[in-house]
Amino acid sequence: MKWFENPHRDTASEIEDLAYPPSGGRVKLVILGVILPLVVVYFGVQAWLTEEAIWFGNRGSDMVVHGATAKSLGVAYTSIGLFCHFRWFWGLLPVYRVFEVGTVVSLVGFLGGLVFGVYHLCA
């Protein structure tokens, strides 16, 4: 049972919400726009430098990957951190061009890292 599900919202409207800046104040700007991205980018850089990363799965089926797959996941982790930064830092400041371009570039980087990770994992 989904307690808070709105029957008038579908996946398309949820995805469309990513195109608009979020609402919030200084606390959201600092926590989600600075601290969270720094932590996630740190793990992305560590995965790139050590060539060892965790590929998160569902129900505890995480796996440790090495080599080119770990570097690809490092790019994906770094892109997630950049997405959070552009979304909640630049989106809460009135600099919308940086918000839009940064969000799109970080999502493309995430997809690229994920695709190359799957490619290197299966190759």
Q: Tell which wins on pLDDT, 37 or 61.
A: 37
C-beta atoms surrounding 42 within 10 Å: 13
**Alpha-carbon torsion 109, 100, 98, 41, what sign?**
negative
pLDDT tens digit string along 60-101? 889 999 999 999 999 999 999 999 999 999 999 989 999 999
Tell me, yes or no, if the pTM score tops 0.75.
yes
Token pair, residue 106, equals 């970080």
